[in-house]
Amino acid sequence: MTTVLVQYGLLLAAALFLVGLAGVLFRRNLLFTLLSLEIMLNAAGLAFVVAASRWQQPDGQVMFLIILAVSAAEAAVGLALILGIHRESGTLDPDELSRLRG
């Protein structure tokens, strides 16, 4: 066990989250968007665990497990969709895929 302050753990989570956010905003490839999303989810889980370690409770890790399950399901479905999109329109550029407008 470390004596690094919880704050710094949370800061690490925040930094990772922002990196993931930057990836979502900046990349022009849906696959990279999904990847960055994974990074963000990971960061959120990290934050949960670090916070729970302060109180010495297992709830944080339970939450981490749930987030993991969600991320897995979402990655699976998302990748299936990406395959479909690639088949249909041949491009994975989100800026090109903008027919759902109103």
Partner 1 sequence: MVTLMWLIPAFPAAGFLVLSTLGRRLSRPACAVMGTSSVALSMIVSAVVAWGYLSPTLPRPLTTTALWQWMEIRSLSIGFGLHLDSLSLLWVLVVTGVGFLIHLYSTSFMSAQEGYGRYFAYLNLFIASMLLLVLADGLLLLYLGWEGVGLCSFLLIGFWYREPANSKAALKAFVVTRIGDTALIIGILLLYTRLGSGNIQELLSRASSQIPPGAPLAVAAAALLLAGALGKSAQIPLQTWLPDAMAGPTPVSALIHAATMVTAGVYLIARMNVLFALAPTVRFLVAIIGAATLILAGFSAASQRDIKRVLAYSTISQIGYMFLALGVGAWPAAAFHFLTHACFKALLFLGAGVIILNLGDEHDIFRMGGLWKRMPLVFATFLTAALSMAAVPPLTAGFYSKDWILYWVWNSGPSGPILWLLALLGIVLTSLYTFRLVFIVFLGPERSRPSGRPGALLTIPLVVLAVPAALAGFLETPRHLGDIRVFSRFIAQTAPVVEPAPSMPGMVVWLILVSEAASLLGILLAYLLFRRRLRVGEAAESLPQGAYLRRFWLAGWGFDWLYEQTVVRPYRFLSRVVGSEPLDWLYRGIGDLAVVAHRLLSLIQDGRIRRYAAGVALGAALILALVVLL
Partner 2 sequence: MNGIVWISGAVAVISTLAAVTRRNAVHALLYLIVGMLGVAVVLFAFGAAFAAVLQVVIWAGAIMVLFLFVMMMLSLRTEKRAAVRLRAIIGPALLAVVLAVELMVVMTVAPPQPPAAAAVQPEQVGSSLYGPYAVVVELASVLLLVGVVGAFHLGRGREKDEGR
Sites for partner 1 among residues 24-53 (CB under 8 A)? 24-25, 28, 33
In angstroms, rounded to a whole number, what is the distance separating the alpha carbons of residues 2 and 11? Answer: 16
Nearer to partner 1, 32 or 53 (CB): 32
Question: Measured from the CB of residue 86, what is the shortest distance to partner 2 in angstroms?
Answer: 6
Our measurement of the distance from residue 76's CA atom to the centroid of its chain's CA atoms, rounded to an integer in Å, reads 13
Size of the residue set binding partner 1 (CB under 8 A): 13
Q: Applying CB under 8 A, which residues contact partner 1?
A: 21, 24-25, 28, 33, 94-95, 97-102
